Amino acid sequence: MAKKIFWDKGHGGSDPGAVANGLQEKVLTHKIVEYAMSYLSANYTGFEQRTSRTGDQSVELNSRDDLADNWGADVFVSVHINAGRGNGFETYIYNGNVSAATQSLQNMLHAEILATMHEFGPTPDRGKRRADFVVLRETDMPAVLTENLFIDSSDHERLKNETFLRAVGEAHARGVAKFLGLQSIVSGPPQPTDSNRWRIQTGLFDNAETFARAIGRLKEKYSWLIHEQATSTDLNPRYRIVTGLFTGRNVAEYYADQLKKEFGWNVYIIEG
């Protein structure tokens, strides 16, 4: 039986949510969820998904959990942007009695999303929290609410980056897929169309800590040799990864696309 995933886009319609720096929370939550849903559809099978709003509609707070409950959803994820001039990422579950499955969903989402945010720069971990939010208290299935950076602090620069929003949405999708054990759509690499050798190069990481985490994630997923680990100067240390050695540019492009989907990195093809 197909798993049912319900995405709640925070706010909407006459309720913009938090507003600052030329941004509206309702617009950002819509984008993040759309990226999450598209990623799931492109990369997994064995599920259905719905959302609390398809566009910029007003949706009553008390009806959001009803939409998920009446449908019989297996998971509920409510996506929000924080405000209050802080920095960082946090997740919430209900502060009453919750199942082990709810805690597991929070753990998987929190880890996946925070790791992705770190790829764009240091991101304070504000923790896995609990609260008496309606959508967490009234839902009948494991439910988590994510607060994805602050709209009214220096975080807003990343929230203006469409690549970042896509990566965060895709991280939400991967967290849910891992929790539900969704089957990945497997498609192997193509046959090479040329005999030249090619490598994959990432964009720049801003600090050694973020760079080390990226290498760790890459090694965990693939067994490729890291051919180059740093490009930096004493005054402005920045880092990039150069990895793989593929016969055929189209094969390198296939794996570059996998890295973009998996990690949300900027990735380029260079001659080997």
Question: Residue 183 carries which side chain, given as an amino acid letter?
Answer: Q
Tell me how far apart the terminal alpha carbons of the chain are, to the nearest angstrom.
Answer: 46
Which of 25, 119, 147, 170 is catalytic? The answer is 147
Count of residues making up the chain: 272
What is the rounded CA–CA span in Å between residue 252 and residue 269? Answer: 7
147 is catalytic: yes
Q: What is the dihedral of CA 18, 88, 95, 99, to 10 degrees?
A: 120
| Sheet arrangement for strand 125-131 | 47-51, 3-9, 75-82, 143-150, 89-94, 125-131
DSSP state of 205: B
3-state secondary structure of 245: strand
What is the rounded CA–CA span in Å between residue 241 and residue 58? Answer: 44
The label of the residue with tokens 């965060």 reads 168
For residue 179, how many other CB atoms are within 10 A of its CB? 23
DSSP state of 96: S
Check if the beta carbon of residue 78 is closer than 8 Å to that of residue 12: no
Question: Residue 268 carries which side chain, given as an amino acid letter?
Answer: Y
The label of the residue with tokens 């409950």 reads 69
DSSP state of 222: -
Tokens of 138: 């009234």
Could you give the residue numbers annotated as active site? 147
